Amino acid sequence: MRIYNSNEIKNIALLGSKGSGKTTLAEAMIYECGVISRRGTVDAGNTVSDYFPVEKEYGYSVFSTVFNAEFNNKKLNIIDCPGADDFIGNAYTALGVTDLGLILIDSEYGVEVGTENIFRTTAALKKPVVFALNQMDGEKADYDNVMEQMYDHFGKKVIPIQYPLESGPGFHSIIDVLIMKKLEWKPEGGAPVISEIPADQMERAQEMNKNLIEAAAENDETLMEKFFDQGVLTEDEMREGIRKGLVDRSIYPVVVLSAAKDMGVRRLMEFLGNVCPFVDEMPAPVTTAGEEVKPNADGPLSVFFFKTSVEPHIGEVSYFKVMSGTLRAGEDLENVSRGGKERLAQIYTVCGQIRNSIDTLKAGDIGAAVKLKDVRTGNTLDQKGCDYQFDFIKYPQPKYQRAIKPKNEADAEKLAGILTRMHEEDPTWVIEQSKELKQTIVKGQGEFHLRTLKWRIENNEKLPVEYVECRIPYRETITKAARADYRHKKQSGGSGQFGEVHLIIEPYTEGMPEPDTYKFGNQEFKLNVRDKQEIPLEWGGKLIVYNCIVGGAIDARFIPAIVKGLMDRMEQGPLTGSYARDVRVMIYDGKMHPVDSNEISFRLAGRNAFSEAFRNANPKILEPVYDVEVLTPADSMGDVMSDLTGRRGIIMGTESENGIEKLNARVPLKELSSYSTTLSSLTGGRSSFTMEFNSYELVPSDVQEKLLKDYAANHSEE
């Protein structure tokens, strides 16, 4: 392979809903380039893209696959991304290092929720988009219907480049209105027979050609003037106008094809090579310091690592993009993200599981290295004296979680190491060692996502594990004032332990007046505040402690010990052992012994007095409530709404957006445990959702009663 410059390289993310045919298209593209001599199929499990054992086991793409295609003296670096919503993190990664999203649409199903989600991601990252209507030969394929959907969803920026003479099983020819020719394929596909447009299609073709010329001219003043003067543009001028429109997202070209039959694939590659922007035509990426870095092969060398995988028979493979400069095999670089030096002894161009050693890669190009010493996803490696650092890949929030544990407790440490490595491969697998819940929590994008993680641990690492329900991070608080006192006394020969604490507690809210007078029964307590501590709690809320001791009943040196006792109970609430929050405590009296009083005595006295007062203060349990947004086809709206209501969800509103229904609800976390799986089942996998923490709310009384019973039963067993 020859060395390509940034003005000869195009980096493309291959995107689309599950089943839209991305892997099949990738196979056809590298076949057309001569990389492989025979096309594999997804059903046979012999494609270049889906080569991991877990992908062959499940029959769908799990990881993004990097491959390159040399076509017409240009280099196309393409990243094939999984279509399932569970693996959407791969699309975020791919779009971070590519310059265009090629979005496939299944011509039988049209625009799906997954298509919408992917398009939103490209919009958020300001990436150009080309649409490809694939599977035009499908039984239910309907070009006109899909185009209507696209206009409804994406607006008038959608501009057809081609249209089929026939949709469905009879698909074998198209009219290309950019080159104004008819392209026709034999049953085996491949290179088309190019001929003039038939007379009965000329009027339609000319109308679409005119629309294309107008759309192209709008992106360049010189082209616009020529169009007004002459009414036409040359083919090259149209390409230039489309390219500029792609860069600023003012045009979304649409092509048609059948990847499975290799019809339209070569023409698609010509279009990508001739029309889509080169690396050096896109806005320059920005470092963490806000500095633009153009893809200059003569600039300082900086390499960004965007993906890590452990591959069969090879080990760790690290994928990178050369952000600036020229990378040569054997280069010594500094890891500005982690510190230390790294030698890239060998570098490769990659085509799925095919790796070819290469000596040099220039700015804008994508490659791989194997078995690096200490490089992780998201790291930047620079030559000495260069301080570029990149951090432009932002991942979606997790929406499915489970606690994981080894079946043999002795393997806990081994599992922790494996999970750390798995997170480095796929940052959307989020690992949390929860001190509060006393569980190892694994978070991901869905049930499939975590099932894939479990499969890899058990089959690749030979470590049996199991998932269990995550405990819910409840909170405890109080709703009225209460008083209690507690005497801790212990005598076991010699000096003993003695401490007595009297205190009042009440709910805390921001801005409430300072404590003054309290009445319990017939007894009134007038407090004089001597000192105040405001303790923000790391789990939310506050603990406010007032020292109201008068007459030296408790020495000031014991107050910190009492506060520690209060914090013991705040960290392990009296009701369910959950964190407590938003409590105000007034320590107003007590007793001490000149010999037996010490810090441990007052810590225990404070803790037990607080527990008793807490239980008498009409305590309540709070649960985390999340904002949930569901995108679903209209025909599933009733089922989705009914299901959320059954999960104690409150529907906050609905709206229709380009034929897709959007539903907003507020749902307790406890009820979202398996929502990802249920939603997929309800809607045939055509819906997606996001969730974001909103607040802590009181649990209903029946739920609180059950929680208290469960905790009491488990506590007594312990």
CATH topology for the 621-703 domain: Alpha-Beta Plaits (3.30.70)
pLDDT of 331-375, one tens digit each?
A: 999 999 988 899 999 999 998 878 899 999 999 999 999 989 889
Residues of the chain with CATH 3.40.50.300: 6-281
Cα dihedral 42, 47, 49, 54 in deg (nearest 10): 60
Give the mean model confidence (pLDDT) for residues 600-621. 96
Give the burial class of 709: count Cβ atoms within 10 A of its Cβ; 0-12 exposed, 13-18 middle, 19 or more buried. Answer: exposed
Give the mean model confidence (pLDDT) for residues 427-445. 92
Q: Residue 298: which region, alpha, beta or left (left: phi > 0; alpha: psi -120 to 50)?
A: alpha
Give the mean model confidence (pLDDT) for residues 701-707. 92
In this predicted structure, what is the pLDDT of residue 415? 95
pLDDT of 241-273, one tens digit each?
A: 999 999 999 999 999 999 999 999 999 999 999
Residues of the chain with CATH 2.40.30.10: 302-382
For the chain, how far is it from start to end, CA to CA, in angstroms? 67
Higher pLDDT, 449 or 684: 449
In this predicted structure, what is the pLDDT of residue 58? 59
What are the distances in angstroms from CA 176 to CA 163, 210, 473? 7, 13, 59
How remote is the C-alpha of 678 from its chain's centroid?
Answer: 20
> H helices of 199-264, where?
199-217, 221-230, 235-247
Residues of the chain with CATH 3.30.70.870: 400-468
pLDDT of 161-195, one tens digit each?
A: 999 999 999 999 999 999 999 999 999 898 999 99
pLDDT of 630-687, one tens digit each?
A: 988 888 899 999 999 999 999 999 998 766 789 999 999 999 988 988 998 888 777 8
Strand order in the sheet with 583-591: 482-490, 497-507, 583-591, 542-547, 531-536
In this predicted structure, what is the pLDDT of residue 52? 62
> H helices of 318-462, where?
412-425, 447-460
**Bridge partner list, 668:** 625
Give the mean model confidence (pLDDT) for residues 557-565. 95
Q: Residue 34: which region, alpha, beta or left (left: phi > 0; alpha: psi -120 to 50)?
A: left
Residues of the chain with CATH 3.30.230.10: 479-618
Query: 254, 160 in Cβ contact below 8 A?
Result: yes
Give the mean model confidence (pLDDT) for residues 216-232. 80
Higher pLDDT, 394 or 66: 66
- Secondary structure element (H or E) that encloses residue 151, with its range: helix 143-154
Q: Please report the sign of the dihedral spanned by the C-alpha atoms of residue 170, residue 171, residue 177, residue 181.
A: negative
- For the domain covering 400-468, report its CATH number: 3.30.70.870
How many whole angstroms separate alpha carbon 442 and alpha carbon 462?
19
Give the mean model confidence (pLDDT) for residues 689-712. 91
CATH topology for the 479-618 domain: Ribosomal Protein S5; domain 2 (3.30.230)
CATH superfamily of 6-281: P-loop containing nucleotide triphosphate hydrolases (3.40.50.300)
In this predicted structure, what is the pLDDT of residue 717? 40
In this predicted structure, what is the pLDDT of residue 75? 93
In this predicted structure, what is the pLDDT of residue 211? 92
CATH topology for the 302-382 domain: Elongation Factor Tu (Ef-tu); domain 3 (2.40.30)
The residue type at 565: G
How remote is the C-alpha of 124 from its chain's centroid?
Answer: 14
Helix 265-275 / helix 22-32 crossing angle, nearest 10 deg: 80
Higher pLDDT, 493 or 453: 453
How many whole angstroms separate alpha carbon 587 and alpha carbon 610?
10
In this predicted structure, what is the pLDDT of residue 18? 83
Give the mean model confidence (pLDDT) for residues 400-429. 91
How many whole angstroms separate alpha carbon 42 and alpha carbon 75?
25
3-state secondary structure of 364: coil
Judge whether residue 520 has pLDDT over 90: yes
- Secondary structure element (H or E) that encloses residue 650, with its range: strand 650-657
How many whole angstroms separate alpha carbon 578 and alpha carbon 471?
10
Give the mean model confidence (pLDDT) for residues 434-439. 90
Higher pLDDT, 558 or 45: 558
- Secondary structure element (H or E) that encloses residue 65, with its range: strand 65-71
Q: Which of 176-190, 352-366, 505-519, 703-717 is predicted least confidently?
A: 703-717
**Non-local CB neighbours of 550 within 8 Å, separated by 6+ positions:** 528, 530
Judge whether residue 108 has pLDDT over 90: yes
What are the distances in angstroms from CA 598 to CA 490, 566, 567, 601, 606? 12, 16, 18, 5, 12
Name the average pLDDT for the chain. 90
In this predicted structure, what is the pLDDT of residue 343? 94
- Secondary structure element (H or E) that encloses residue 70, with its range: strand 65-71
Give the burial class of 144: count Cβ atoms within 10 A of its Cβ; 0-12 exposed, 13-18 middle, 19 or more buried. Answer: exposed
